[in-house]
Amino acid sequence: MTTMNAAVLDRFDDQAVIPSLGNQLGLDLGAEPLLRAKPGVFFEAPDIDLNYDLFVVAFSGGKDSWASYLRLIELGVPRSRIEMWFHDVDGREGSTLMEWPFMADYNRKLAAELGVQLYASWLVGGFEGELNKENAYSAPHKVETPDGVITLLRDTSRAKPGTRQRFPQVSADLNVRWCSSTLKIDVARRAINNQARFNGLRICFVTGERREESPNRAKYNQLEPHACDRRKGRLARHVDTWRPVLHFNESDVWEIMERHGVLAPIPYRLSWPRSSCRSCIFNSPSIWATLRRYFPGSVETIAAYERKFDTTISRDRINVMEIADKATPFNILDEEALAQAFKAEYTLPIIDRANWTLPAGAFSNVKCGPT
Ligand code: SF4
């Protein structure tokens, strides 16, 4: 397990210790108002009281969502109290612009192998539909539930039509990095708010961010009330967000994967340092170059949209083809993983203790993550 470094300890002092001391003593100890401790908010909470009826794990199919799930298992949470939620970035209407083709089936199969319930949810039309939106209302969401797929329409009496027609910007600000908010956070929020089965329950919403990933994530609280928390309201729905691997470094993640024999998901086997959308806006030059070499057409399609909307993903106004020109592609040696990367059906093993190995993408110095 990682030891807390000095910077984290300083922030912990600022955000938790000083304000709470002040509260106890009735003093103003000078902490910034925004940093004051709030009820139920904990900057450091690697271990928590697990007294929840349900744990909802936001599961992308990458190593950090795996590590989050495995931590729950190591802490003794029964599988019957866990649900995995997979937000399908491309939707299920035919677009293949962003996501790895096998990812939906990989998640379906791993959940079946583990004996855990998986529910998918998505914005109708996915990333590509939202990218093309022109003077239109936002599309509905679709959410798998125990009673089948529900459709969550928009309230057009309150919403206004909008135009997107530009790629999300590489930023920590979710207003301009619209993919995370529109295709994941908002979908989960509506999936919680529109299912009566959650009323009266204590729900722990589990996500896999890690402080090591970015300066912005280093500031995240580890436990806090979720935006959908209504514990004091008529619905009596208690929802916390817990980030059980926020304090993990990359070694911790691979170690927990190895302890459980979870084989590295395909992107890491192809040398990717992260498993995100295949065409993620955070892709490094070497990843764009690798995509262009091994996945013909994938980068060209993104570049065509950049031209169409006269907006590049890069803030430097360099299109993805020019970015790919700047780097050397990875040399992918894992032919089995490469063959799987093109298929929608996932056919490789998921858990195999005897053949566990670190993938080519582990501990990579290629930078391609959130800011
Ligand atoms: S993985 Fe990348 S492109 Fe996909 S939703 Fe997240 S930030 Fe956006």
Q: How far is the CA of 250 from the centre of ligand 1 (A)?
A: 20
How confident is the prediction for the chain on average, in pLDDT? 91
The verdict on 166 and 232 lying in the same domain is yes
Instruction: Supply the residue whose CA is at minimum distance from atom 3 of ligand 1.
Output: 280
Q: How far is the CA of 184 from the centre of ligand 1 (A)?
A: 9
**Which protein residues are within 6 Å of ligand 1, measured from CB?**
89, 98, 168, 179-180, 183, 276-277, 280-282
The verdict on residue 194 lying in a domain is yes
Per-residue pLDDT tens over the stretch 73-97: 999 999 999 999 999 999 999 999 9
At residue 37 the predicted structure's pLDDT band, cuts being 50, 70 and 90, is low
The verdict on residue 370 lying in a domain is no
pLDDT at 30 over 60: no
The verdict on 219 and 286 lying in the same domain is no
The verdict on residue 40 lying in a domain is no
Q: How many CB atoms lie within 10 A of CB 210?
A: 24
The verdict on 274 and 199 lying in the same domain is no
Q: Which atom of ligand 1 is nearest to the CA of 279?
A: 3
The verdict on 238 and 318 lying in the same domain is no
The verdict on residue 349 lying in a domain is no
Q: How far is the CA of 170 from the centre of ligand 1 (A)?
A: 10
The verdict on 270 and 228 lying in the same domain is no
The verdict on residue 335 lying in a domain is yes
3 state DSSP class of 121: strand
Q: How far is the CA of 114 from the centre of ligand 1 (A)?
A: 26
- The pLDDT value recorded for residue 172 is 82
Whole-angstrom Cα distance, residue 114 to residue 50?
Answer: 21
The verdict on residue 353 lying in a domain is no
The domain in which residue 332 lies consists of 264-341
Closest by Cα among 62, 35, 54, 67 to 246: 67
How many domains does the chain fold into?
3
Whole-angstrom Cα distance, residue 155 to residue 174?
Answer: 22
| 310 CB-contact burial (10 Å; exposed 0-12 / middle 13-18 / buried 19+) | exposed
According to DSSP, residue 58 is labeled: E
Residue to mutate, 128, 276, 283, 301, ligand 1, most ligand atoms under 8 Å from C-beta? 276
Per-residue pLDDT tens over the stretch 140-165: 999 999 999 999 999 988 889 999 99
- The pLDDT value recorded for residue 367 is 67
- The pLDDT value recorded for residue 158 is 87
Per cent of the chain over pLDDT 90 is 83
The verdict on 23 and 64 lying in the same domain is no
3 state DSSP class of 192: helix
The verdict on 201 and 73 lying in the same domain is yes
Q: How many CB atoms lie within 10 A of CB 339?
A: 12
Residue to mutate, 59, 89, 164, ligand 1, most ligand atoms under 8 Å from C-beta? 89
Whole-angstrom Cα distance, residue 161 to residue 159?
Answer: 7
The verdict on residue 56 lying in a domain is yes
DSSP character string of 123-175: ETTHHHHHHT--SBPPPPEEEEETTEEEEE---TTT---B---SPPPSSS-TT
The verdict on residue 41 lying in a domain is no
Closest by Cα among 275, 225, 217 to 246: 217
Q: Which atom of ligand 1 is nearest to the CA of 180?
A: 5
The verdict on 295 and 321 lying in the same domain is yes
- The pLDDT value recorded for residue 10 is 52
The verdict on 150 and 291 lying in the same domain is no
